[in-house]
A and B are shown apart, each in its own frame.
Chain A
Amino acid sequence: MLKNRVKELRARHGFSQVELAKRVGVTRQTIGFIEKGGFSPSVALALRLAAHLETTVDDIFWLEEEEFDE
């Protein structure tokens, strides 16, 4: 499963879900779903999130270990 630190990084930057959504050009619900791990964003959106959260994509998103055990 794709894990992420969007919520943590967003809070660190002091962004609300609405504010981050506006910055990266999506709806607030999409940010909410990404944070919960319910939606895997496209590469383009992941790159935009990384840019606005001032980090790299692999610092925000990673695959959970058990994915590789299968």
Chain B
Amino acid sequence: MNNNDFRVQFPLWNIALWFIFMIWTYGVIYAVDLLMNGLESHNWNIAAITALFGGTFLMLLFLVLYAVKIHKHNKRYPHQQIDGFSLFKPGEFIDDDEMLQQVTQNATRKVYVFYWQFLPLIILLMLFPFNRYVFIVALCLVFIIQNLLYYLEVRKYFSGDTDYADDTPAPKKPVQTKKNLRKTAPLVVVGILVLVAAITATAIFQMKSTHEANLEQAEKCLDNGGTVVSEETNWYGLNSVTCSQN
């Protein structure tokens, strides 16, 4: 078993899935809104339609590749088979022997601490009246970070950088060598890029949906003979439209 083992790489597949899910839901939300509000009154959003069809295609492609990869793994390692669609035992759990169980425990402990820190922030985020896509992105990011943490912990074991002695004194702070930096830097960069991309996509989505909602409200107001009043009311710099009747 090494870093190329599918079970070690499993969290990376999860990250890819959640990333595709983020794209797909952008289109799904648009499609749901379209169905709820009626087709006539809506401006066509090309980005959302692309996300819907592109996301569906990527999701199907992912599922095919995932199934093939699992099939190959299970054929190669008949005694360490993965049930890729199990809801009870995640595929990334490796418990072949007592040390691998220890590795899994350490990784899940890190994930637990992450949830303990991050979920209150999500609740805080929910206090603000963002578009529901913001919350979907936030939760997808939680899953992405969870899998990244898990992968980095398990990978340490397979690259031999970690120590699981039960009775060793408090570990010394690891020396950040150039070799270590070379290993972790790409993952940190990918993590930051995913975060920046998600925040940017969320901000664009928020602006676009607010703009569309304002436009719709303004048109309704003008149709009813009112006067449209646009004000900057939100702390994140988005305008809101109100209608005053003459």
User: Is B167 part of the contact surface with A, judged by Cβ < 8 Å?
Assistant: yes
Number of interface residues of A (CB under 8 A): 18
B97 touches A1 (CB 8 A): no
B164 touches A33 (CB 8 A): yes
Given A1-B169, A39-B102, A26:B97 Cβ within 8 A: yes
**DSSP majority for the B interface?**
loop
Closest B residue, CB atoms, query A40? B166
A-B contact count (CB 8 A): 50
User: Is B157 part of the contact surface with A, judged by Cβ < 8 Å?
Assistant: yes
Complex Cα spacing A40 to B165, Å: 5
A30 touches B163 (CB 8 A): no
User: Is B117 part of the contact surface with A, judged by Cβ < 8 Å?
Assistant: no
B contact residues around A41 at 8 Å (CB): 98-99
Complex Cα spacing A40 to B99, Å: 9
Contact of B99 among A33, A37, A67 (CB under 8 A): A33
Contact of B1 among A27, A38, A67 (CB under 8 A): A27
A contact residues around B1 at 8 Å (CB): 27, 29
Closest A residue, CB atoms, query B100? A27
A40 touches B167 (CB 8 A): yes
A contact residues around B157 at 8 Å (CB): 29
B162 touches A1 (CB 8 A): no
B contact residues around A25 at 8 Å (CB): 97
B97 touches A30 (CB 8 A): yes
Contact of B98 among A1, A38, A42, A63 (CB under 8 A): A42
Given A29-B1, A29-B158, A39-B102, A2:B165 Cβ within 8 A: yes
Q: 1/0 per residue B86-102: CB within 8 Å of A?
A: 00000000001111101
User: Is A11 part of the contact surface with B, judged by Cβ < 8 Å?
Assistant: no
User: Is B224 part of the contact surface with A, judged by Cβ < 8 Å?
Assistant: no
B168 touches A1 (CB 8 A): yes
22 contacts between A and B (CB under 8 A): A1-B165, A1-B167, A1-B168, A1-B169, A2-B165, A2-B167, A25-B97, A26-B96, A26-B99, A29-B157, A29-B158, A32-B160, A33-B99, A33-B164, A38-B162, A38-B163, A38-B164, A39-B102, A40-B164, A41-B98, A45-B98, A63-B167
